Amino acid sequence: MQISTAWRRIASVFLPFAAGYYLSYLFRTINAVIAGHLSSDAGLGTADLGLLTSVYFLVFAAAQIPVGILLDRFGPRRVQSALLLIAAAGAGLFAASTSFLLLLIARAMIGLGVSAALTAGLKSIIIWFPRERVALLNGYMIMLGSLGAVTATAPAEHLLTWMGWRQLFEILAAATGATAILIYVMVPERGLIPSTASATLSSVFGDRRFWRMAPLSATCVGSSWSLQGLWASPWLTDVEGFDRASLVRQLLIMSIALSGGAWLLGTTVHYLKRREIGPETILATVAVLLIAAELALILQAPLPSVLPWSVVAIVGTATAVSFAVMADYFPPELAGRANGALNVLHFGWAFLAQYATGLILEQWPTEDGHRSVVAYQVAFGLNVLIQVWALVWFAVPWLKSSTSRIGSIPSIIPVSAFDAIGASIFCEQIDDDAEW
């Protein structure tokens, strides 16, 4: 690709879609800053706040399969611009809402409206840029988009000092509408390879590799989104005893780490693939780091909390790794459906984790307006247990390969390591897993 052509494509394709993903990330994480205002203005409890924030993820997840089909059939330009108009309307309704029900509907509209923000950008990268650059550009896309999380911390806090959250959402509504128009006007069309929806979806969901990788990616990425998007703020207030200024400062640091992590992961995948190290290895490493960081928080390890919380934030950008895996597994004409299928699990788990955390926390009474440390330890600990299970499930093919070389160990491992979740199931899956 010539340099002039590359820069034209960056300006007319990459940056407009990055702007859409920026707004998606801003909407996703803004409730962490305005949570107190929402609670006081609308009288929301912990569970209500969890549901209001997480409904974004629920609608987002439900839209992924239809969005993936639409992206493959009509292209990212038309799909993204149309959906962003719905997000703009949702942001406007959120600004005007005076009841919990209207806030919930508005938040759901926002979730639907930005449901194609990342997958449309990734689809455009696959369509317009060389295959060997996909992982690198995915990382840059997520890095620029995650600046929305940075904006949702200190900059949003400064805006809230001289305008209310309603006025802030009015501005976001206008910006989202403008971005929709920008994408429709600037992004060129390009011919797409037609495919049959039923056949292509079955080829994604019927792939064993997808079901090995997807639970690990979902439980790690979704948990990161859940924690940073809402529950980091109450933890830092209730457990760490942060005041408002310290809280916003740490959220800002986490968001900066998030943005830098996207670039780091995308670049790492790009260069390690040249050395024939697949993105699956990087995903497993990211999962181990997340589990370690969460355990450090749960066990209250003698570390500055910004360190484990920054790791939690960075894992939210592991989509750069997961979608690189998808690009290896499936052809370009399946990119929208494959990425959409994975995003169903990402956002579905984010919804479950975010809402369930609120429900668990409400089982403990407050003392001077704060939840107990034990409540957070139970809620976060359940998350970790599920992530450990997903990591073991992901590692089963590697365990099979390792134990077959040793010879006598295969008959021992299922009983000793996996008996708690059913040795017979794992043995059957290992024997049938020819693709690995």
pLDDT digits (tens, 9 = 90+) for 38-70: 887 877 777 788 888 888 888 988 898 898 889
Domain ranges of the chain: 7-432
pTM of the entire structure?
A: 0.72
Residue 243 clears pLDDT 80, i.e. is over it? yes
Measured from the Cβ of residue 394, the count of other Cβ atoms closer than 10 Å reads 19
Average pLDDT, the chain: 84
Could you give phi then psi for residue 102, rounded to 5 degrees? -65, -40
Distance CA 346, CA 214 (A): 8
Residue 435 clears pLDDT 50, i.e. is over it? no
Using CA atoms, how far residue 321 sits from 47, 159, 265, in Å, is 32, 34, 7
User: Which has more confidence, 310 or 4?
Assistant: 310
The C-alpha torsion from 38 through 42 and 47 to 52, rounded to 10°, is -60
Residues belonging to the chain: 436
Position 99 scores a pLDDT of 87
Q: Which residues contact 411 (CB under 8 A, 6 or more apart)?
A: none
Distance CA 375, CA 365 (A): 9
Q: In the numeric block, which tokens belong to residue 361? A: 């926390």
Summarised one tens digit per residue, pLDDT across range 132-173 is: 787 788 888 888 988 998 898 888 988 988 888 999 999 999
Roughly how many angstroms between the first and final C-alpha of the chain, as a whole number? 35
Percentage with pLDDT > 90 across the chain: 39
Question: Which residue is listed with tokens 């457990």?
Answer: 239
Position 428 scores a pLDDT of 41
Rg (CA), the chain: 22
Distance CA 164, CA 29 (A): 17
> Residue 367 pairs with which residues in a beta bridge?
370
What amino acid is encoded at 401 in this protein? Answer: S
Q: Which residues contact 91 (CB under 8 A, 6 or more apart)?
A: 27, 106, 110, 169, 170, 172, 173, 176
- Residue ranges of alpha helices (H) inside 275-372 are 279-298, 306-315, 319-329, 335-361
Measured from the Cβ of residue 70, the count of other Cβ atoms closer than 10 Å reads 21
Quick check: 128 and 1 in contact, CB under 8 A?
A: no
> 190 by DSSP, 3-state: which?
coil
Tell me which range, 77-81, 130-134, 315-319, 347-351, is most confidently predicted by mean pLDDT. 77-81
Q: In the numeric block, which tokens belong to residue 367? A: 């003392």
Q: Which whole number is the average pLDDT over 192-217? A: 75
DSSP state of 193: -
Position 379 scores a pLDDT of 94
Position 432 scores a pLDDT of 43
Position 76 scores a pLDDT of 93
The CATH superfamily assigned to 7-432 is MFS general substrate transporter like domains (1.20.1250.20)
Position 98 scores a pLDDT of 85
Q: Give the range among 57-61, 194-198, 214-218, 427-431 with minimum mean pLDDT.
A: 427-431
